[in-house]
Amino acid sequence: MTKPAYVAVDWGTSSFRLWLIGSDGSVLAERRSGEGMTTAAKVGFASVLAGHRQAVSAPETLPVIVCGMAGARQGWVEAGYLDVPAALSAIPAAAVRVPDAVSDIRILPGLAQRDPARPDVIRGEETQLLGALDALSDGNGLVCMPGTHSKWVHIRDGAVTRFSTFMTGELFDAIGKHTILSHSIQDAGPFDGESEAFRQAVTECIRNPGAASNLLFTARSGVLLHGLSATDAKARISGILIGLEIAGALDGAEPGASVTLVASGALGALYESALEAAGAAPTIVDADAAVRSGLAVAARALWDL
């Protein structure tokens, strides 16, 4: 039987994921919970981690590699930022050790872009990038990482040269819940990247991004005047916001630019459809696999595994 070698943790704002990894790199056990930074800051990071380690019977002495918001100022131990341009291979050595812990627990740093015109920060996605690096030809490319705060990252020779955060997921949530559009979508059913209303909204907003907050209103007026369905109204709002993001992220890029899409599940499928509608040719990398792979690269760099 494979012996456990280390514990890998992706500790986000609202989610916690832990894997027990064997000496051959295989996943021996997995845990997922809602004990993200927000919860853990109240109940204690050490106790949340200890509970999940016990649940998978991980030996107490096993080293632990952590990425994400556990390293934020409001997190467990602040892990700071590497300033871009930053070689992804420099990330593991910049990990911060949790003091007075039972075993060797290291939290990986984020990335900071201090350009006064476009200040930006990443925390967690740098580890996905480290894991997705093999998927980039010659360590070069443009990477799209959709989510609550989507990240678009330019990588050259294995180093992050610049990146941009788009608040797409959070805007979708705030607009759908806290504006007049909430009435138009309250009976909406599920939709996906095949939705014509979604794809049309993506292309409309890419063609005319300045009209974004007007296009959003047409999700309401389309219901009032043309019987647009609640599901199509919701797909339209999503398409407008994702289209706005793609318009900004691909501004200045070649038509048919190659984009590596690091994503999973329904959101990944939605972005794949939107990028195709935008004329980009996405290569897909699974986000869950990427973060595990990035944590593995860091663990191997830090410890003799």
Contacts of 24 (CB under 8 A, 6+ apart): 2
45-48 long-range CB contacts below 8 Å, 24 or more apart? Answer: 45/70, 45/75, 45/76, 46/76, 46/101, 48/16
Site string for a copy of itself, 124-163 (x = CB under 8 A): -------------------------x--------------
**Side chain identity, residue 269:** A
Per CB under 8 A, the segment of 115-123, 132-140, 187-195, 291-299 that binds a copy of itself is 115-123
Cα–Cα distance, 217 to 22 (Å, whole number): 52
* CB 83, CB 159: distance < 8 Å: no
Nearer to a copy of itself, 160 or 171 (CB): 171
Which one of 6, 16, 45, 166 is in contact with a copy of itself (CB under 8 A)?
166
Q: Which two tokens stand for residue 172?
A: 């979708």
34 counts as binding a copy of itself under rule CB under 8 A: no
DSSP state letters, 239-252: HHHHHHHHHHHTTT
97 counts as binding a copy of itself under rule CB under 8 A: no
Cα–Cα distance, 96 to 106 (Å, whole number): 5
Which one of 39, 222, 276, 284 is in contact with a copy of itself (CB under 8 A)?
222
Per CB under 8 A, the segment of 100-108, 130-138, 246-254, 270-278 that binds a copy of itself is 246-254
Per CB under 8 A, the segment of 54-62, 94-102, 175-183, 278-286 that binds a copy of itself is 175-183
218 counts as binding a copy of itself under rule CB under 8 A: yes
Element (H, E) at 258: strand 258-263
Site of interaction with a copy of itself (CB under 8 A): 112-114, 116, 118-121, 149, 164-168, 170-171, 173-175, 177-181, 206, 208-214, 216-218, 221-222, 224-226, 241, 244-245, 247-249, 251
